[in-house]
Structure 1
Amino acid sequence: MSEISLGISIEEYQSLSTAERYLIEYINRNIETIPTLSIVKLSELANVSTATIVRTMKKIGYEGFTSFKQTLKNNIADESKYEFIEQVDQEIKQAILKNEAEVTNTIKMLKTGLIEDAIQKIMSVDKLYLFARGFSEMIASEMAVKFQLLEKNAEMHNDPNIIRSISKRITPKELVLFVSLNGFTEELVEACKNLKISNVSTITITANVDSPLAELSEMVLVGYKSPHSYFPEYEVRSRLPLQVISRILLDAYAIRRRSEL
């Protein structure tokens, strides 16, 4: 019996009845599945009454089974946050931590004031255009659909010739949002130059603040791009930072739009 895992002293354990001790031992043997069980299911599996469960929980310092489960969930989460990583190959472990770094560092880099400015700008214009190329197209396409669901007049373009052409016709009452990992895509940079000449506001979601696209844009939301790539021969680096930014921007836009209605 491992009383310590549940925070029960030897004295407390010895004060329990036979049925209560049996329940504690059952919980210890099945500690990982306990948080998923209801009190009724635990009663069936452990072959004890729900009254015994409630009584036992109170004796070991909890209001009931639900409060015990919540504490157990928190403890398991704290203790096993990275436990599974220790069981995998070193290179796979690095891949897992690389993705974690991209998410956490991107969130740290985002400025709430800039997010708010971008939201207000999007809300104020008559129409929103989204331009993207390559793998970034999927992110821009999803954003366009979600903006449309939020009743924003939005359309996405990925054809280089159409991007160049449309960028010359967009008015200052409209807005263009670029999604580009590196910010060097030729047609996107050219489009941004055209928009700047026409005094059209632009927002760029990127992972490269030192790119031509970032320098030309009115507002830039920058994410963290890991220096490591598992596809070094191809330009297929992770777009995870861009996905994180787009998700935050969309969620914040939905919240702000709801508050303004």
Structure 2
Amino acid sequence: MLRERDIPLTSTFLTRIYEHEHLLSSSEKYLVEYIKNHLDQISQLSIVQLSLEASVSTATIVRAMQKLGYSGFTSFKIRLKDEHAENIKFTAVEKVDHKIKEAIFKNEREVVQTIGMLDSGTIEDALQKMIHADKIMLFARGLSELIGKEMMIKLQLLGKYSEMHDDPNIIRTISKRLRPTDLVMFISLNGRTEELVEAARNCKASGVSTITLTANRNSPLCDLSEISIVGYKSQISYFPDYEVHSRLPIMVIARIILDAYVIRTREKDNN
């Protein structure tokens, strides 16, 4: 027997059910009926928990919520929270919502502040170095390797000779064999990776041009590089025990450089 709810149904929820019930499948109608009779528990349940409790798939829950005009199950819970603001049972929804928004704003801040820190003149200088280099060598370690590989692939697609290396010994060796007509691009969030710093010293000694993409202006790589393009790194980390800070600032810089490279090379081809 269904337990009696102690939270009243809102007119908004009832209206949406009335207006869109004809769109619901039999399993979605069953889900809505379940929610109506267990409204006092809904704020405490995740979509997976509701799926188990109501014996329906998570896909059914998402489809039902969307047909009722919500973007998803959490959106539905947030609307319930707004309509029952005085009810303590909905405080958990508010906490979850706040934490998720905090994560969203962290990433937004990294993107916006990184873009704000970029100097078009510095990017132009970097582009000219890239365009006139015989070869572009990309050196990166850790999670930054993914950005380096993406840059390499896109540069190759544009017809520019490029290589990406992530092995410490190979980075050290190749950095000693480059010519002044080559260009090295370092991709490093903290700008302190030992083998990258050593490679930068080798390049400087050989007169090889270097560009660093980083989020740490006060780093050995920045000191050793001809051009440094610096992004903003948030101090908030959801993985404090590991060196896996967000590479989003570097991703933004890399995307802008690649887009600008396409613009400049097309202009050159058209002239």
TM-score strictly above 0.5: yes
Amino acid paired to 1:172: P
Query: In 2, distance between residues paired with 1:223 and 1:212?
Result: 16
Shift of the alpha carbon at 1:91? Answer: 1.7
Unmatched tracts of structure 2, length 5 or more: 1-18, 21-77, 83-93
Alignment of 1:81-96 (within 5 A): 89-96=97-104
Identity within the alignment, %: 62
Q: Which residue of 2 aligns with 1:190?
A: 198
Q: Which residue of 2 aligns with 1:164?
A: 172
Shift of the alpha carbon at 1:178? Answer: 0.4
Q: Which residue of 1 aligns with 2:261?
A: 253
Query: In 2, distance between residues paired with 1:238 and 1:130?
Result: 20
Query: In 1, distance between residues paired with 2:129 and 2:169?
Result: 26
User: CA RMSD, aligned part only?
Assistant: 1.8
Alignment of 1:200-219 (within 5 A): 200-219=208-227
Match of 1:147 among 134, 143, 155: 155
Q: Which residue of 2 aligns with 1:104?
A: 112
What secondary structure sits across from 1:182 in the alignment?
Answer: coil
The C-alpha deviation readout for 1:131-178, integer Å capped at 9, x for no partner, is 000000000000000000110010000000000000000010000000
Amino acid paired to 1:148: Q
Query: In 2, distance between residues paired with 1:90 and 1:233?
Result: 23
Query: In 1, distance between residues paired with 2:239 and 2:154?
Result: 30
Amino acid paired to 2:206: S
Asked whether 1:175 is paired with 2:183, we answer yes
Alignment of 1:30-41 (within 5 A): none
Shift of the alpha carbon at 1:89? Answer: 2.2
Unmatched tracts of structure 1, length 5 or more: 1-28, 31-82
What secondary structure sits across from 2:121 in the alignment?
Answer: helix
Flag as ranges the 4+ runs of structure 1 deviating above 2 A.
86-89
Name the TM-score, length of structure 1 as normaliser: 0.67
The C-alpha deviation readout for 1:174-207, integer Å capped at 9, x for no partner, is 0000000001100000000000000100000000
What secondary structure sits across from 2:185 in the alignment?
Answer: strand
Amino acid paired to 2:224: L
Aligned length, in residue pairs: 180
Query: In 2, distance between residues paired with 1:180 and 1:125?
Result: 21
